Structure 1
Amino acid sequence: MAYFLVKTEPADYGLDDLEGERRTVWDGVRNPQAVRFIAQMRPGDRLLLYHSGAQAALVGLARVVSWPRPDPADPRSQVVEVEFERRLARPVTLREIKASKLFADWSLVRQPRLSVMAVPERFLHWLRGQGLLDPEEEERG
């Protein structure tokens, strides 16, 4: 199981929307690098949902529930279906992530406009250390 981070502007579509719908198609990604990450997703992979804009924070978890497929609105893009899992106990801000000085080489810090990216294992370990990601969640898959 892999982890990916997906960014969204909460005014357009946020964690509240996903929680209410329970399941959605993750679409609208145009950056070729971000599209390649969607193409790597597999059912059961986990998503860290990140609210961009004013909040700039990780806010929740979702699970990929379909294989990637071409976006009907743009054949150069890919989409996956995702399902809401849970909110994080507290938002993890970009400021907090940067202040840790542990992730300066991660795309979240280096490429602020990239909307989908892989999550490094050391970041997951850090979240577990913060009590925000439960090791047993990996086994629930």
Structure 2
Amino acid sequence: MNYWLVKSEPGEYSYQDLENDKDIVWDGIRNYQARNYLKEMKVGDQVLYYHSGKDKAIVGLAEVSEEAFPDKNDKENKGWVAVRLAAKKAFDQSLNLEQIKNDPKLTELPLLKQSRLSVMPIEKSAFDHIIKSIS
């Protein structure tokens, strides 16, 4: 099993929207590194859901429910892919960016090094620490 973090502007598509919809096709990714990460996702992988923009916080947990398939919005056939994510749990409390930055166990989190990337892998130890911190 692998662990991931995905980012979305809450005004565009919030974790609450994902809970309401139950699952979603995670498409529209137009960054080559993020696309490659989408291709690595497997059914059952755990995904931290991060609200970017004003909120800047990890707010929920999702799961990969369908592995990479062609993004239907790829009109130029450039090999863009999508995955399907299912809502698992909204966290009672969020873990904001300042808390992440100030946590010595999270200094290697890709979120801090590649802040513009919308899909990124998370080490199991960091994932477990985040879950423990907000549970």
Partner of 2:16: 16
CA distance in 2, matches of 1:25, 1:121: 24
**Closer, same or farther: CA 128–10 of 1 in aligned 2, 3 Å:** closer
Listed one character per residue, the Cα deviations across residues 91-137 of structure 1 (whole Å, up to 9, x for unaligned) are 001110101133333210011100000011221232244253xxxxx
- Check if 1:28 corresponds to 2:31: no
- The one of 74, 77, 80 aligned to 1:77: 80
Partner of 1:106: 109
- Check if 1:91 corresponds to 2:101: no
Structure 2 counterpart of 1:99, which letter?
N
- Aligned-residue CA RMSD (Å): 1.3
Displaced runs of 4+ in structure 1, greater than 3 A? Answer: none
CA distance in 2, matches of 1:126, 1:61: 14
Partner of 1:138: none
- Check if 1:4 corresponds to 2:8: no
Partner of 1:62: 62
State whether residues 93 and 134 of structure 2, in contact with CA within 8 Å, keep that contact through their aligned partners in structure 1. no
Which secondary structure state, in structure 2, belongs to the residue aligned with residue 37 of structure 1?
helix
Partner of 1:135: none
Which secondary structure state, in structure 2, belongs to the residue aligned with residue 39 of structure 1?
helix
Partner of 1:39: 39
Structure 2: any 5+ residue segments left out of the alignment?
none
Structure 1: any 5+ residue segments left out of the alignment?
133-141
Over the matched positions of the two proteins, sequence identity in percent amounts to 36
Equivalenced residues, count:
132
Task: Single out whichever of 68-77 and 1-10 deviates more from structure 2.
Answer: 68-77
* TM-score computed with the length of structure 1 as normaliser: 0.88
Task: Single out whichever of 100-109 and 86-95 deviates more from structure 2.
Answer: 100-109
Q: Which has the higher helix share?
A: 2
* TM-score computed with the length of structure 2 as normaliser: 0.91
State whether residues 4 and 47 of structure 2, in contact with CA within 8 Å, keep that contact through their aligned partners in structure 1. yes
**Closer, same or farther: CA 127–105 of 1 in aligned 2, 3 Å:** closer
Which secondary structure state, in structure 2, belongs to the residue aligned with residue 66 of structure 1?
strand
